[in-house]
Homo-oligomer: A and B are copies of this chain.
Amino acid sequence: MSKPSIPKGTRDFGPKEMVKRNYIFDAISTVFQKYGYRSIETPAMEKTETLLGKYGEEGDRLIFKILKRGASLEKDLQKSKNGKKATYAEEALRYDLTVPFARYVVQNQNDISFPFKRYQIQPVWRADRPQKGRYREFYQCDVDVIGSNSLLNEVELVQIMDEVLGKLNINAKIKLNNRKILAGIAEVIGESDRMIDITVALDKFDKVGQVGVINELNEKGISSKAITKLEPIFDFAGTNEFKLEKLEVLIGTTDIGRKGIDEVQSILKNLIACNIKPDSIELDITLARGLNYYTGAIFEVVCDDFPSSICGGGRYDDLTGIFGLKDISGVGISFGADRIYDVMDDQNLFPQNIETILDVLFVNFGEKEALYCLGLLAQLRANEISSELYPDSAKMKKQMKYANEKGARKVVMVGETEIANGILTVKDMETGEQASLTIEQLIHSCVV
C-alpha cells in the first residue's frame, strides 16, 4: 500500500505550525475585538448562484463545486447524455469572505443594527495552480464596517493595520490611495470611460514597472497622448503632503479628483490625532487594487523583501447591491494569514520558545510510581499548569527524548526514594540544573 497523501495545494499543519498560526490569529482577532468588531462565521458551502458571476470568468473557473448526489446527479448526467446543459452542482466552496459577508448582510438585514462592524477568520478555497506561497486552501482574516459613509472608519482600519503590524513585530509600510484620485487622473487624461483598464494596468506597476504598465495601456488602446499625460504619476516621490500638493495641481480641478484629495487629507489628519507615526503610512498613487467594487480609499500593506502584499482592502459603495440591497456603503481590509506566517517565519519574528507549551513532564518509573504521580499531576493541573505523565514505563532515554521533542520546561522524576521523602527531583530543561523540590515549590516555580 502506498503512503496516503493530501490533495495538491492543500496542507496539514502540525503542532509546531499550529502554535505559530494561532499566535497570528490570536493577535489579529484581539486587535479586531479591541476596536469593537465582532466575529461571525458563514458556512464553507454557499449555493452556487451566490458565488458564480461575482469574481469574473476566471474566478468562476476557480470555484470548487460540490458534486450533486443520488437521483439529482443521475438527472443531470441524463441531461448531458441528451446534449442538454447540466450543472452537476448546487453548492460550492466559498472563494473569499467578502461575497459571503455581503450575502449574510442582505439575508439578515432586519436583524443587524448598522453600522455593522464584523470580522471573520475562516479558510477559503480556490482551484488555482498551486505554487510557492499560493495554496488551494488558505485563511483570510477580514474586518469590515458596513452601513456608514464616515471616513472615521477608514481611519480605524489604518489604526488596526498599524496595531497588528506592531503586535506581530512586522516591519511594513501601509500604502494608501483613493479610487477617486485615479478617476480624477483618468478624467484629466481624457479617458474617464477606461477607468477599469487603467486600474487593472496600474495594479501591476509593482511587478512590471512603468514600461510594463504603459505597454498594457497601449495594448488596451489608450491613446499615446493620454499615456504621456499619465506619466507624471510614475515618479511621485516625497512626503504625503508634497504628493497631495502635486495632485492638487494635476487633478484638483476635477470634481472627483478634488473629492479624492479631500478624503485622503481627512484620513491623514485624523490619523495624526490617533498618534499614528506619519511615516508608517504612504500615499501611493500607483496603488490601484484589482477588484472593481472599490469606490473610495484603497489600502495595501507591503513588507520589504516579500513579493506580495500581506493585507489589503478599501471602500466599496455597493457591495450588497449584487444581492438586491442598494446604497449600503462599507469599507474593509483582509489580512492574509498564510503570507504573514511566511514573512514572520522568514524573518524570525515569532517569540522565542513559542513551541514550548508543556510546563512539566513526569517520568514514568512503573505502575506504583505512576499511581503516585497521578495525584501530583492533579495538583499541578488544578493550578492550570500544563503537565503530563509519560504513559508507559519506557527506557529513561526514550522518555527524555520525548520531553525534549515536546519542549517540556521541567522534567520531574519520582522514584521510591522521592516517594518515601515526599520530595520531587526536578530537572530544568533549559539550564540542565537538577533540584529537590516539594510539590508546592514546583507549583510555585511554574506559576511565577
Report A10-32 CB contacts with B as 1/0, cut-off 8 Å.
11111100110110000000000
Answer whether residue A419 sits at the interface, using C-beta atoms and an 8 A cutoff: no
Are B123 and A44 in contact, CB atoms less than 8 angstroms apart?
yes
Answer whether residue A88 sits at the interface, using C-beta atoms and an 8 A cutoff: yes
Answer whether residue A7 sits at the interface, using C-beta atoms and an 8 A cutoff: yes
- Known: A106-B3, A137-B45. Is A145-B357 also a contact (CB below 8 A)? no
A5 to B117, CA, bound (A): 21
Stretch in A247-255, A287-295, A369-377 touching the partner: A369-377
- Known: A3-B106, A106-B4. Is A38-B18 also a contact (CB below 8 A)? yes
Instruction: Provide the residues of chain B in CB contact with A324, threshold 8 Å.
Output: 1-3
Are A39 and B22 in contact, CB atoms less than 8 angstroms apart?
yes
A108 to B136, CA, bound (A): 21
Are B5 and A108 in contact, CB atoms less than 8 angstroms apart?
no
Instruction: Provide the residues of chain B in CB contact with A113, threshold 8 Å.
Output: 401-402, 405-406
Which of A159, A163, A273, A381 gathers the greatest number of chain B CB atoms within 10 Å?
A: A273
Stretch in A146-154, A171-179, A191-199, A225-233 touching the partner: A146-154
State which residues 99-147 of A face B: CB under 8 Å. 103-104, 106-108, 111, 113, 115, 117-118, 123, 125, 127, 136-137, 145
Report A358-371 CB contacts with B as 1/0, cut-off 8 Å.
10010010000011
Are B66 and A389 in contact, CB atoms less than 8 angstroms apart?
no
Answer whether residue A275 sits at the interface, using C-beta atoms and an 8 A cutoff: yes
Chain A interface, >50% SS class: mixed
**Looking across the interface, which residue of chain B has its beta carbon closest to that of A48?**
B7
CB A204 to nearest CB in B, in angstroms, measures 26
Are B13 and A40 in contact, CB atoms less than 8 angstroms apart?
yes
Instruction: Name A40's contact: one of B15, B43, B372 (CB within 8 Å).
Output: B15
Answer whether residue A385 sits at the interface, using C-beta atoms and an 8 A cutoff: yes
Are B12 and A42 in contact, CB atoms less than 8 angstroms apart?
yes
Are A387 and B36 in contact, CB atoms less than 8 angstroms apart?
yes
Answer whether residue A80 sits at the interface, using C-beta atoms and an 8 A cutoff: yes
Answer whether residue A155 sits at the interface, using C-beta atoms and an 8 A cutoff: yes
Answer whether residue A187 sits at the interface, using C-beta atoms and an 8 A cutoff: no
- Known: A80-B80, A150-B391. Is A118-B15 also a contact (CB below 8 A)? yes
Are B391 and A270 in contact, CB atoms less than 8 angstroms apart?
no
Are B106 and A43 in contact, CB atoms less than 8 angstroms apart?
no
Answer whether residue A34 sits at the interface, using C-beta atoms and an 8 A cutoff: yes
Are A374 and B50 in contact, CB atoms less than 8 angstroms apart?
no
Answer whether residue A91 sits at the interface, using C-beta atoms and an 8 A cutoff: yes
A281 to B60, CA, bound (A): 53
Are A41 and B18 in contact, CB atoms less than 8 angstroms apart?
yes
Answer whether residue A342 sits at the interface, using C-beta atoms and an 8 A cutoff: no
Answer whether residue A35 sits at the interface, using C-beta atoms and an 8 A cutoff: yes
New A-B pairs, 11, CB < 8 Å, besides A18-B40, A45-B125, A67-B88: A3-B107, A4-B47, A4-B50, A5-B107, A12-B107, A15-B38, A18-B39, A64-B66, A64-B67, A149-B392, A269-B371
Contacts A/B (CB < 8 Å), 20 sampled:
A4-B103, A4-B106, A6-B46, A6-B107, A12-B41, A18-B38, A18-B39, A34-B384, A36-B358, A36-B386, A36-B387, A44-B44, A45-B125, A77-B80, A117-B388, A150-B392, A152-B364, A152-B389, A270-B374, A273-B374
